[in-house]
Amino acid sequence: MRGKDIYTRARKTMVESQLIPRGIRDERVISAMLKVPRHLFVDEALMAQAYSDYPLPIGEGQTISQPFMVAFMTEALGLRGTERVLEIGTGSGYQTAVVAELSGRVYSIERIPSIADRARKTLDSLGYPNIVIKIGDGTLGWEEESPFDAILVTAGAPQVPHTYMEQLAEGGRLVIPVGGEFVQELMRITKKKGRIERESLGGCRFVKLVGRYGWQED
Ligand code: SAH
């Protein structure tokens, strides 16, 4: 079988065995998960495991999130196709691509330059004109490009940085893991008519959000 077919089938199995049984329902999210070639976002030595049910290392002590977590967080943002999205923690760029399939434009911030450069290369080779990546401290947000209809944070924060609340549009959704160093609660925060609504989406485990309004560097 050709390589391409192997990965296409692996994505279908991933969706059918990991995402649908755990409740992912949004058809657009499912299509994006079937489309984005996750194996191209990891090292060659890890490609055979790219569609397995766990996170994988991407260097510098960071990880590409588990497929289910990517689908779950993306679904929680409720994207319809035209949104301006801020993503904190580009990492491999995999979730950036998934979100770019479902929104208007993605502004993504990564603090580790070598990781950001690699994500940029991968995304350029796949051709995503609606993704902008910046190297810097994502806890500050991206004021010049705000407000955002959706903000997605893929690293764990000790508390919600106030910058995100300020840069979230009316009706906007913020999805962020909040809690301790090793386990967090995935929160969805919605800005509605000046009111803030908070819901817990369950427990999770992310690498640390390191920055001015996150964890301090070791
Ligand atoms: N969604 C990514 C997850 C990467 S892990 C993926 O699936 O590949 C989280 C990333 O957040 C790491 O690359 C880490 O370097 C980055 N990060 C941590 N703190 C950050 C900050 N303050 N600003 C930007 N990126 C940050």
CATH number of residue 175's parent domain? 3.40.50.150
98 touches ligand 1 (CB under 6 Å): no
6 within a domain of the structure (yes/no):
no
Residue nearest atom 16 in ligand 1 by C-alpha distance: 89
43 within a domain of the structure (yes/no):
no
46 within a domain of the structure (yes/no):
no
> First and final CA of the chain: distance in angstroms?
47
Beta bridge pairs of residue 168:
148
How many separate domains does the chain show?
A: 1
Specify the pLDDT at position 194. Answer: 81
164 within a domain of the structure (yes/no):
yes
146 touches ligand 1 (CB under 6 Å): no
Mean pLDDT for 188-201 is 95
Give the domain extent around 163.
55-204
Residue nearest atom 11 in ligand 1 by C-alpha distance: 89
Specify the pLDDT at position 217. Answer: 85
Specify the pLDDT at position 2. Answer: 64
In the numeric block, the tokens 């999210």 are attached to 29
Pairing of strands 105-110, 131-135: parallel
Mean pLDDT for 162-170 is 97
137 within a domain of the structure (yes/no):
yes
Model confidence pLDDT, tens digit, residues 38-79: 999 999 999 999 999 999 999 999 999 999 999 999 999 999
Q: Which of 62, 64, 108, 152 to mutate to test the pocket of ligand 1 (most atoms within 8 A of CB)?
A: 62
